[in-house]
Amino acid sequence: MEPLVHLNGAVVAAADARIPVMDRGFLFADAAYEGLGVLDGQIVDFEHHMARLERSLDELSISAGRERDEWWHLLMALVTGNSVEEGFLYLHITRGVGSTRAYVPDDDLTPTVFAFVQCYDGPRVDDPAPVLTLATASDLRWARRDIKTPNLLGQVLAKRHAQEQGCDEALLVTPEGMVTECGSRSFFIVSGGEIVTRPTSNDILSGVTRRAVIAVAAELDLAVEERIVSLDEALAADEAFATAASTYVQPVVSIDGEPVGDGAAGVVALQIRSEHIRAVRASFYSPG
């Protein structure tokens, strides 16, 4: 069956979706987006993703003109229309289509709204936790990483580098040797029984799954400290793991070919993953 997508109020076959070349999302990455998980045919962490989307749009002065329940119905129509039980849901909002290519936009543009869903092609959530190998890469991204925009060239280059090194994902590192996050995941270490992750700021994206994992750790009485971690500290950690919307919690077993801890999935990471998935299934959003 041809995948269905949402484009500006209509659900159409993906092959029939068309966006004008003067759309500012295409020309300038003048847009915001969210990537959400789909589990058991439901949207994961819907409210927190919408809160982050609203913040990103506010920072860019883009008004999408929809309430949260409207977004839920729009997105769920794609999930059910494409018969997706477990996968990835993408929502992309641009400032709109200008009459010319101009850095300063017109004031009266109508935002472009595009969304699609796809089945997850990796291990299923109830399978044994898939592990990650990381390769370090210089963090070349723009300075406002807290805004979730499709300005992702830095991540593309980092992830290509990781792939060339035979690794699953990139670990982004500043010139001073400090870890920021992964190419498309938040990063945690476990050291001396304490979970450590970088504090939120303009330097990283405030990950929705990151937030949920910190809450899960508190429920499990596991200590969490938010502070900047050096690459040396990450390499010396007892465990490491990474989090993302559609892959949840994944243990990290190596960085640049060096094992993290004993080179196997860590006990804390597996405990966090199991409890997080349980919590997700207990809290699917239902519109009012």
Selecting among 6, 52, 148, 159, the annotated active-site residue is 148
What CA–CA distance (Å, rounded) separates 238 from 249?
16
Q: What is the 3-state secondary structure (H, E, C) of the chain?
A: CCCEEEECCEEEEHHHCCCCCCEHHHHHCCEEEEEEEEECCEECCHHHHHHHHHHHHHHHCCCCCCCHHHHHHHHHHHHHHCCCCEEEEEEEEECCECCCCCCCCCCCCCCEEEEEEEECCCCCCCCCCCCEEEEEEECCCCCCCCCCCCCCHHHHHHHHHHHHCCCCEEEEECCCCEEEEECCCEEEEEECCEEEECCCCCCCCCCHHHHHHHHHHHHCCCCEEECCCEHHHHHCCCEEEEEECCCEEEEEEEECCEECCCCCCCHHHHHHHHHHHHHHHCCCCCCC
| Cα angle, residue 25 at apex, residues 114 and 95 outer, rounded to 5° | 80
Task: Give Rg (Cα) of the chain.
Answer: 19
Residue 229: closest CA among 207, 199, 273, 203: 199
| Cα angle, residue 261 at apex, residues 256 and 262 outer, rounded to 5° | 100
Q: Is 148 a catalytic residue?
A: yes
Catalytic residues: 148
